[in-house]
Amino acid sequence: MGAGKTTVGRAVARRLGRQFYDSDHEIEARTGVRIPVIFEHEGEDGFRQRETQTIDELTQRSGIVLATGGGAVLRAENREYIKSRGTVVYLRANPRDLWLRTRRDKNRPLLQTADPRARLEQLYQERDGLYRECATFIIETGRPSVNALVNMVLMQLEMAGIVPSNAALLPDASDATDAANATDGSQSAHGDAEAEQLRPDDVGATHAVDTGESISTAPVTPERDTFPR
């Protein structure tokens, strides 16, 4: 969490002309409530079950780019879905940078503890090996700009023959807007700027999935889920 997966994933999808999905946002759209509310009513197990169902459905679609939640790798079935159905890019960063980006975010249930930085360190230790297990490519992000990171992702996909060689074009105005939005503290912590507190010169780590080679840009309206209130 705090890696910039939504900002980077959306920009990659735009360059490729593909539909972008974020599994956390899909869950919120289907239930009609924010993720902390799901944790409050159903606990982490309840949320993870919804997450697995959502990832299963999304990874069966072709021609999309998917950003999963940071904890999706905890379930073996999720790891199997993303590994067998898509190309997985793990954007890797150190826990300190992730903490700097998430420390003011109240929409992350797992970080609502007395010591969120220590919690991030723990989660990193638990999950890094799982991310590596799933990854087709691992990109050590360091501190590049958003556009530079997007180009790095596209370059890896091009070199592997997964996307056309003309995919990594110069960024368009929308990419610049994404980068600017990521710095706007007035935006919600988990909405479109799940840009995840991402600054244009500071990118973190997670994994995104590019599923299929066909291009499909028509959005699919999710089925409405039920959620007790």
Binding-site positions for Mg(2+): 6
pLDDT, position 121: 80
User: Residue 88 in 3-state DSSP?
Assistant: strand
Domain residue limits, the chain: 5-211
Q: What distances in angstroms separate CA 210 from CA 17, 62, 86, 103, 163, one per listed residue?
A: 12, 9, 5, 29, 10
The reply to whether CATH 3.40.140.10 applies to domain 5-211 is no
Binding-site positions for substrate: 24, 48, 70, 127
Q: In a structure prediction context, what are the per-residue pLDDT tens digits for the chain, which is 229 residues long? A: 667 788 899 999 999 999 999 999 999 999 999 998 998 999 999 999 999 999 999 999 999 999 998 889 999 999 999 999 999 999 887 767 665 665 555 555 555 666 667 777 887 888 889 999 999 999 887 677 889 889 999 999 999 888 887 765 545 545 555 554 443 333 333 433 333 434 433 333 345 555 554 333 344 444 555 444 3
Q: What distances in angstroms separate CA 184 from CA 43, 179, 194, 198, 220, one per listed residue?
A: 31, 9, 11, 9, 29
pLDDT, position 97: 66
**Do 127 and 37 contact (CB within 8 A), yes or no?**
no
Binding-site positions: 2-7, 24, 48, 70, 108, 127
Binding-site positions for ATP: 2-7, 108
Quote the CA–CA distance of 206 and 147 in Å, as a whole number: 16
